[in-house]
Amino acid sequence: LTHPTEPFFRTETLLFPLGAGLEVQPLSPLQGVLAAPLTLTLGPLVAYNVLALFSFWFAGWMTFLWARRHTASALAACLAGVVYSFAPHHFTYLPQLNLVQIGVVPLYLWCAERLTERPTRARALVAGLVLAAVGLCDWYYGLAAGAVGLVLAALRERAAAEKRGALVLELWHFGACLVVLLPVVVPM
């Protein structure tokens, strides 16, 4: 905020002396928005640590919600949340803020399955916005979650082939994601 620049400018700091464009770098816009007020008030070190600690809680909670749909036991869902949250992948990528927010993936799976269970425009919109949040955390996770979303959309379309309006829900689902991600994807 103190030195406003374009988000996708070319910098010589990366890949010196040639430089590199930031459009394909893991910018983590979602984490940047979350970290901005914390960084301004508490400093960058505290902001990073708060986001890293939050990622463990959020990953465990979202996995608990998703696993509870598939298990008859809250204890089993709680165990799934603990295992996912404290997986080696999470600790390995702890220094990279874009890869530490793994909780958005089970959140998207939970939203996408709820959309499959009872398709409504509101659920399609929420699933699309959460898919966009996954993509804004990291584009690797966004591509993987988008592929899962396409498979679930194909299953919903096949199940609702006789119903009209199923395609409209998919447009809400993926359209909401596209509208949010368009300003990031177009410069790339």
CA 125 to CA 129: how far, in whole Å?
Answer: 6
- Choose between 98 and 124: higher pLDDT: 124
**The predicted structure's pLDDT at residue 187:** 66
pLDDT band at 99 (very low <50, low <70, confident <90, very high): confident
Q: If you compute the radius of gyration of the chain from its CA atoms, what whole number of angstroms results?
A: 18
Please tell me whether the peptide bond between 17 and the residue prior to it is cis, using omega within 30 degrees of 0. yes
The per-residue pLDDT for 188 is: 62
Vertex 64 angle, CA 62 and 70, to 5°:
115
pLDDT in tens, 70-86: 888 999 999 999 999 99
**Among all chains, which residue has been given the structure tokens 């530490």?**
100
CA atoms within 13 A on the CB side of 23: 12
Residue pair 142/135 in contact by the 8 Å Cβ criterion: yes
Q: What are phi and psi of 23, to 5 degrees?
A: -70, -25
pTM: 0.79
Task: Indicate if the alpha-carbon torsion angle 91, 92, 96, 101 is positive or negative.
Answer: negative
